[in-house]
Every structure is written in structure tokens, then in C-alpha cells.
Homo-oligomer: A and B are copies of this chain.
Amino acid sequence: MTEQSGSGRITANDVARLAGVSRSAVSRAFTPGAYVSRDTRAKVERAADLLGYRPDMLARSLTTSRTFLVGVITTHLDNPFYATLLQRLIEEIQRAGMAAVTFIADETSNDERISQLLSYRVDALVLTNTSLSSKMSVRCARGDTPVIAINRYLEVDNIVSVTCDNELASAAIGKLFVKKGRRRIAYMAGEPDTSSSRDRERGFRAGLSELGATLHSSAVGNYSHDGGVRAARELLSSSVRPDAIFCANDLMALATVDVARKDFGLDVPGDLMVAGFDNSDAAAWATYRLTSVDQNIPGMVRSAVEEIEAAVVERGRMRRRVLIPPTLVERESTGGPKSIDEPKYGS
């Protein structure tokens, strides 16, 4: 019998032997657009799925320099926003016929991770809420590895960054508070050194001042629930308590609602309006009904993967910035949706 050789692995040679053709023919049968007769292709395909053969990606990548692997570096997934983002990103990557090699960012060992990913010759690198050291940026550029940053804007060459329009959305929330008659308006920041938190604060302030209002107070919640609890207590303990708080993400906003009700006996939105960012699932829960900003994750992810595909084809493209338009979702935590004919922000 012409069986495969000893080892469990089935190679193109085994298929070739069984099909009675050369190994090149097998290779060509699996390469779209290569010179193979209908006849041989049929023989090869029959033999192949008789043996359960599939070309070895590793070996293939060695000659083609295409691995169909995308390196993804993301943060802790406690925050449901990152979890959903990662999920959609992976789905989009696999839809494009590639596979995602995922690492959780570790602050200290980040460079090591990237270097590791490069040693797998990933076709592209996606950073989610993560920065890139200039050293690694150079390494990526040298190896022609395109880098896409989602949700963080990096001032580095040869890198595409995809973010939602944080300033625009935050301004809309600022204006919403003012229109609803609030005057003691506070901001709860995320991690202070991230572009997202800074942009949201800047936009929020701009929105307020556009309608003649100004920021009453602010605190830092570090994007976490616990941090949000502490920051909310801090803000609400003030002698002149705020009557509206914009939190830089939902996790902190939900914490703020909890604290307002449980610790301070406040009514939301009566005594305190709260708005968040991310439009996470929990924002829609009956207990919270939280007004939030939908960053349009599917849109972000689609852009990111499109950038990857473009970059793989035309190597060495320019740095770019992609801005995804977000959507304001109004719920009861700010007094519910406006009347039906009032226009959305933006245009």
C-alpha cells in the first residue's frame, strides 16, 4: 500500500505518491492560479482529502513570507469593552482568512512580546490600548511589519491608528448636561496618561464652554470599577456636590450610580445625572439605564483589518489616522431620550 511514512504527519509527498503525480503538482493544486490540469487537480484533491492532507502553513510561510498570522496585544479583559473589542477583532481577522496570535500586555515585558511575535513573522501587529516603544517601532518598520493601534493614538511613524472620535462624543455629552439644566458638572478621568482619557476630557470641556458652562470638579478613576467607586465618593463628598458626572468609561459610571444610590441616597437622574463611555451591555440593564457613547466597535475593527489587508499588499505605506464616528445613546440616567424631532449631535 502507498501509505504515508512512519510519522503521523501527512505531507505533500504522501499525497503525491497516492495520486501518482509529482510533489510539485500537489503544491500547485493548492496554490490558486497555478498551472495544473483539471485532471491532476482532481486526482490530487481526491488523494488529499482521503488522507486528510492540508499544506503545512509553517513550511509554506517560509518561502512565501506570508504567515496569515496577525499579532494582537491587548490589555486585561476585566473591562467588558476590551473583551468585546478583542472578540470582534479576532472574528474579523478570522473572517479575513487569518489567525490571531494574542498576548495580554504586561507593561514590563511588552517589548519581549512584540519581539516574540515578530519571530513568528506575523503579517501585521495590532495594539489595543497599548503603546509601542520606539525601539520596537524600528524593528517593525525594518521587518516591514505594519502596525495598527486601536483606541490609542501613537505619535510614531509607520503606524495606523484607529480611534473613535473621542472629542466629538465627549463634547456632545457636555452639551447634553447643560441643555438638561445642570450646572455643577464633573468629569471622572480614566488612566491619566492615555490619549483616550485626555481627548475625552478636552472634548467634554469644549462642549461645556461652547454653551457657556465650565467644569465644576474632577477626579481620577483609572477606568476601573473600584477606582470609580473611590472617585465617586470623592466627588460626591464635596461640600458643593456635583449634579452631573461624565465618566470616561462605563465601568466607572456604573460604579458612580451604585455609590450615588447606596452611599449617598441620591436619585439618578433626579439628584445626579451620570453618563459613561463604551455603551457596554450592562449600561442597558434595567437597574442602570445608563446614557453612554457607542464607539462602534464593529466599525473600528473593520477599519483595522482593512488597513492590515491593504498594508500587506502595498508594503511600506504612510502613517494614517482613522477616526470612527461614535453614537450617543441616551437613557434614563440623564433623563431619557430627547423628544423625537431633536437632532443628534454631529451632522
Contact = CB atoms under 8 A, between A and B. Distances in A.
B56 A58 contact: no
B67 A90 contact: no
Contact of A116 (B78, B99, B225, B262): B99
A90 B115 CA distance: 17
Contacts of A94: 103-104, 106, 113
Contact of A87 (B104, B118, B259): B104
Instruction: Report, as a range, how many residues of chain A touch the other chain.
Output: 35 or more
A90 B104 CA distance: 7
A281 B225 contact: yes
A67 B101 CA distance: 13
Give this chain's copy count. 2
A143 interface: yes
A287 B287 contact: yes
Given A54-B118, A55-B119, A80-B83, A261 B287 contact: yes
Interface in A84-100: 84, 86-87, 90-91, 94, 99-100
Contact of A121 (B56, B263, B287): B56
A77 interface: yes
26 contacts: A8-B144, A54-B118, A54-B119, A57-B119, A57-B120, A58-B58, A58-B61, A58-B62, A62-B62, A76-B87, A78-B84, A80-B80, A83-B83, A90-B102, A90-B103, A90-B104, A99-B103, A99-B116, A99-B117, A99-B120, A101-B101, A102-B102, A225-B281, A259-B286, A262-B287, A263-B286
